Amino acid sequence: MDIVSPDRRSQMMRRIRGKDTLPELLVRKIAHRLGYRFRLHVPDLPGRPDLVFPRRKVALFVHGCFWHRHDYCRYAYSPKSNIEFWGNKFQNNVARDKRVQGELEAMGWKVAIIWECETVDLASVAEKLKGCLGS
């Protein structure tokens, strides 16, 4: 049973953004500080990656742990109400992520993912960026 009314829950869910989230802004700031230049949400690529490094052919996604089901993460909990809806929603999100990753790799792009929970440690985000961008 949900503890808020359906109208209130709807208002809360509408406020969740898909672009310019705090984790994404943190990753962008670190990437720029490290000297990497990128494009944002390129519509020509499958899945509109959050950051695209065209010269390096790297498409980077900053995934929310809840929405994209980060394995063994405390933020990837399942809501207690409307279980069937959420199960389908999460299953479709994960399937779409796999499909998009496959499409990008087939086009010759390297795909990297930084999870929301990883953005807590900015030094590890910087190391991960260096690793996937070959610095």
Q: How far apart are CA 111 and CA 100, in angstroms?
A: 10
Query: Would you call 62 helix, strand, or coil by DSSP?
Result: strand
Q: How far apart are CA 19 and CA 50, in angstroms?
A: 8
Q: Which residue has the tokens 């990008």?
A: 104
Domain annotation for the chain: domains and CATH numbers: 21-119 (3.40.960.10)
Across the range 19-26, mean pLDDT stands at: 89
Kindly report, residue by residue over 37-73, the tens digit of the pLDDT. 999 999 999 999 999 999 999 999 999 999 899 999 9
Q: Which residue has the tokens 């063994």?
A: 72
**Helices 122-133/22-33 angle, 10° precision:** 60
Alpha carbons within 13 A on the beta-carbon side of 18: 6
* pLDDT number for residue 1: 62
pLDDT-derived band at 10 (thresholds 50, 70, 90) equals confident
pTM: 0.86
Kindly report, residue by residue over 76-131, the tens digit of the pLDDT. 888 888 889 999 999 999 999 999 999 999 999 999 999 999 999 999 999 999 99
